[in-house]
Amino acid sequence: ALLRSALAWRGEQASVARARTLYQLAVTLRDRADYDGADSLLAEAAAIQLQLDPSALIRTHVQQAALAWLRGDLAQAQQRYVEALAEGERHLSPQHPDLARALSGLSLLAHRRSDYRAAIDFGERALAIHRQAFGEAHPICAQTLGNLGALYMDAGETVLAEQRLRAALAIQQPRRAELGPALSNTLNNLGLLAFRGGDSVAAQDWFSQALEIAVQAYGEGHPQVAAIVDNLGLSQQQLGDLAAAQRSYQRALAVRESVLGEEHPHLAYSHQHLGELALKQGRLDAAETHLRRALEIRLQVLGEGHPLSASAAQAMARLQLAQGDRQAAQANLQRALRWWSSAEGRHDAEIADAATELAELQAQSGASFSAALAQARSASSQLAAEQQQRLRLRWSAIEYP
């Protein structure tokens, strides 16, 4: 109400003050999920700033990018971040903090599409600006370090990932009361890094620490709590405590169903984990219930050609193979392989694994497996030596049973 009163008081005439009030009111409307209203006000603010205050355009474009992202229009978000960066480079100093906001947004978008090199470049530039502008121990530096840690982890650069995450942790731990949510996220990512590196004991410890802080920060019924509990279940399963893993997966599913609704894509994580655990235990009916639901949700929300849809189809194929339905298993493996191959970003490890599974199934059925094996070999060429060695052992068993 105060902002609208200020806007009315300033009148319809274009001015820097009016543009500033339009911007502030747009942020308020965005926080209330009135995206159309916010977008309209930001467009008016941008038109004024273009003529009277071009140095302020970068913030408006960043907000327009954030709105586009909230609506799921990532192409528009990318365009707005690029515009923001261009305006900032034209009108601001190279170390201005507003430049880092645009760079951080571009880094997150590049990470999302698995363009790791671009994402790292944008993120490191943002970090350098934040450090110079705010000092190395500022919470915003910790946030940028945490984002970079997750990025390096997904890019397979584990040493740099751990360095960045531990640097974020060093800033956040002394300010636990203030930075609890961010700290829980950093601890969770350190757990994921340990889990992917095969150290499930360390992973479980990191996840347990993250969970304690997340529950304090958010309360029990929060999606972030569910995500950490789900990850804790993965480490428990890897350590052989299947009963504890099942309890964790069910706890995560209950929170997600109550908070997010039954069609939210995050529910598919819980269903797939419960299904894969049931398959491991030989409970095929329960496995089918959960794995079918995971695949249904992902196809409905994400569509074909998405990495998570490919993962769900591959899990379903493993169940069908256990059920003795080789024809259905082969069809789902072929679908998974197509979707991994067409998905945005690089998925060499997943393609090599799915193609190897398909070749194994074809060999068991007496069918030709040469095409699948060739695809597996081609995809594996960029993988780490240890991953390639594991695959070669599987290929040898196919060719020389």
At 7, is the pLDDT very low, low, confident or very high (cuts 50, 70, 90)? very low
Residue-wise pLDDT tens digits, 194-249: 999 999 999 999 999 999 999 999 999 999 999 999 999 999 999 999 999 999 99
Inter-residue contact 279 to 321 (CB < 8 Å): no
Helix (H) or strand (E) holding 366: none
Residue-wise pLDDT tens digits, 268-298: 999 999 999 999 999 999 999 999 999 999 9
Q: What is the CA radius of gyration of the chain?
A: 24
pLDDT at 401 over 70: yes
Q: Please count the other Cβ atoms lying within 10 Å of the Cβ belonging to residue 289.
A: 15
The dihedral sign for the CA sequence 195, 201, 207, 209: negative
Q: Tell me what percent of the residues of the chain surpass a pLDDT of 70.
A: 97
CA torsion, ordered 186, 190, 192, 194, to nearest 10 deg:
180
Q: What mean pLDDT is predicted for residues 15-25?
A: 84
Domains of the chain: 1-130 (1.25.40.10)
- Indicate the pTM of the whole model: 0.85
Question: In the numeric block, which tokens belong to residue 6?
Answer: 């200020």
Residue-wise pLDDT tens digits, 68-107: 988 888 899 999 999 999 999 999 999 999 999 999 999 9
Q: How far apart are CA 211 and CA 188, in angstroms?
A: 8
CA torsion, ordered 211, 214, 216, 218, to nearest 10 deg:
-140
Using alpha carbons, select from 328, 317, 324, 325 the residue that is nearest to residue 294: 317
